[in-house]
């Protein structure tokens, strides 16, 4: 393969994804590999798009949001629209993630409290059993 083109196997190894994932993103029209019969050849553009897709997924962007952001690349304003919209969605995701973290922290604290209570109850029951023997 040339430096400009990668096979599906090379893409999988380079980006730690499965062939199924790449085919899925192709079916969703997020990637556009060159087709030579059954063979898929991915361009530098596909690799850049895949990096953005994977980053967007990691940050909780939906595939539709990712598609819309990728489509904004061609608006013709040096990606100002794309960057602005990405920034807005990223701010929303950060707020969501922070809210989930707060909820998770509260749940962890509640569970720890319940475990301390359970520990005391078990210890008390063990003492009562010992005293009864």
- pTM for this predicted structure: 0.71
Whether 82 and 43 have beta carbons less than 8 Å apart is answered as no
**Per-residue DSSP letter, 79:** T
**The last residue of a domain, from among 35, 60, 85:** 60
In eight-state DSSP terms, residue 38 is: T
Q: What is the pLDDT of residue 3?
A: 65
Q: How far apart are alpha carbons 90 and 95 in whole angstroms?
A: 9
Structural domain ending residue among the three candidates 36, 60, 84? 60
Tokens of 60: 């909780």
Q: In terms of Cα–Cα distance, which of 65, 47, 48 is closest to 56? A: 65
Residue 82's φ and ψ, nearest 5 degrees, are -60, -50
| pLDDT tens-digit series, residues 96-131 | 999 999 999 999 999 999 999 999 999 999 998 888
* Any domain includes 53: yes
Q: Low-confidence residues of the chain, pLDDT below 70?
A: 1-3
Range of the domain at 80: 74-132
């Amino acid at each position: 393969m040339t430096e400009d083109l990668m096979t599906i196997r090379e893409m999988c190894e380079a980006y730690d994804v499965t062939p199924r994932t790449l085919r899925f993103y192709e079916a969703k029209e997020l990637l556009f590999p060159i087709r030579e019969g059954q063979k898929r050849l991915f361009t530098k553009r596909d690799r850049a798009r895949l990096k953005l897709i994977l980053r967007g997924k990691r940050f909780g962007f939906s595939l539709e949001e990712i598609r819309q952001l990728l489509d904004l690349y061609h608006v013709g304003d040096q990606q100002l629209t794309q960057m602005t919209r990405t920034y807005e969605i990223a701010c929303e995701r950060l707020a969501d993630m922070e809210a989930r973290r707060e909820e998770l922290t509260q749940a962890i604290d509640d569970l720890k409290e319940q475990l301390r209570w359970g520990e005391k109850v078990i210890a008390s029951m063990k003492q009562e059993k010992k005293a009864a023997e």
